[in-house]
Amino acid sequence: MSNIRALIVDDSSVMRKIVERCLRQAGVELATVYEASNGAEGLAVVGSNQVDLILSDINMPVMDGLEFVKNLQAAANAKGIPIVMITTEGGEAQVTQAISLGAKGYIRKPFTPDQVKQHVVPLLRVDR
Amino acid sequence: MNTEVTTTTVPGSAPGQPSEEWHSALYEAAAQVFEMMVGEPVSRQPEGSPEGLNDTTAMVGLAGSLCGVLSIRCSTAAAVSIASKMLGEPEHSAACVDQQLDALGEICNMVAGNFKARVDGLREKCMLSVPTVITGQDYTLHSLSTDSGIEVAMLFQNLPVILRLEVHG
């Protein structure tokens, strides 16, 4: 879990900072943290950078998180990157949709640092 | 610490309409969001809407089986303090002043999501808009076609924070 290049996609800059802090508290050693405020910006980051982990909100302007994950599947350099959705929208239908589109985990807001650790750390051990 | 809740009229109990249980659900949703994401508890405030609260109002729209607007309003001092706690930065830092609106909008968003998760049938059938935040000293928020609503008054670090859920027919 060292030298992780993480992409955090959320339209709230405050929330992006909280997610980054939770990752560090979980023991994830972050080499680089890319930030994007919507799915379109997230796709641009993935298109031009190596990323090891993506955490994305769902409810965002311009391109929401589900559309973002869907588009990621078509991006050649996004294959195998674990994606975890972090959102206030916690319906089972959305969870199912996110997983079917390729997300590996789902965290509902509000969340604790332990919940981030619980969902993210196993993915980094398995997928890298 | 006060345990009273400030309430407004809660007419009817038809589907999609506020019930007394919604008061508790709204307060509990907010209390959990503040506890987990801000790192500070809130307490309920005694009856009576405090003056001078209109500095900052964040709103999130709800659509689906429940249509309406959830708003949270507070003073600039409270908004900056919330941002400070969320960011882990001193209140006088530029980051807190710059991001107070973002922080309050996200709090409103999370309270709305947490509230609908606590009410039967709302989690799956009610969608949230992205937050909107307005600022100023002299404005009144009007929601068109409002049929009913509930209000919960809280204290965050001794500063009033008011939640209001307006429900459309």
Question: Domain for residue B149, yes or no?
Answer: yes
- The answer to whether B79 touches B97, Cβ cutoff 8 Å, is no
pLDDT mean over B1-7? 33
% of residues, chain A, pLDDT over 90: 78
B64: helix, coil or strand? strand
pLDDT mean over A66-76? 91
A92 and B124 within 8 Å at the Cβ level: the answer is yes
B106 and A112 within 8 Å at the Cβ level: the answer is no
- The answer to whether B48 touches B141, Cβ cutoff 8 Å, is no
- Is the pTM of the predicted complex or chain greater than 0.80? yes
- The answer to whether A95 touches A108, Cβ cutoff 8 Å, is no
Question: Domain for residue B122, yes or no?
Answer: yes
CATH of the domain at B93: 3.40.1550.10
The confidence band for A87, taking pLDDT boundaries of 50, 70 and 90, is: confident
A88 and B114 within 8 Å at the Cβ level: the answer is yes
Question: Above 50 in pLDDT, residue B136?
Answer: yes
Question: Domain for residue B13, yes or no?
Answer: no
pLDDT of B147 reads 65
Within 8 A of B88 by CB-CB distance, chain A residues are: 21
> How far off is chain B from A76, nearest CA to CA, in Å?
30
- Per-residue pLDDT tens over the stretch B15-45: 456 777 888 999 999 999 999 999 999 999 8
Question: Above 60 in pLDDT, residue A115?
Answer: yes
Residue range(s) defining the domain that contains residue B106: 20-168
pLDDT of B7 reads 29
Question: Domain for residue B8, yes or no?
Answer: no
- CA gap B52, A91 in Å, rounded: 37
- CA gap A80, B86 in Å, rounded: 32
Question: Domain for residue B2, yes or no?
Answer: no
- The answer to whether A25 touches A113, Cβ cutoff 8 Å, is yes
CATH of the domain at A47: 3.40.50.2300
The confidence band for B79, taking pLDDT boundaries of 50, 70 and 90, is: very high
Question: Above 70 in pLDDT, residue A110?
Answer: yes
Give yes or no for A113 touching B (CB within 8 A): no
Question: Domain for residue B119, yes or no?
Answer: yes
Give yes or no for B36 touching A (CB within 8 A): yes
Residue range(s) defining the domain that contains residue A66: 4-127
> How far off is chain A from B95, nearest CA to CA, in Å?
9
Give yes or no for A80 touching B (CB within 8 A): no
pLDDT of B47 reads 67
Count how many domains chain A has. 1
A93 to chain B: nearest residue by CA?
B124
Count how many domains chain B has. 1
Closest Cβ opposite residue B123 in set A12, A90, A110: A90
pLDDT of A128 reads 47
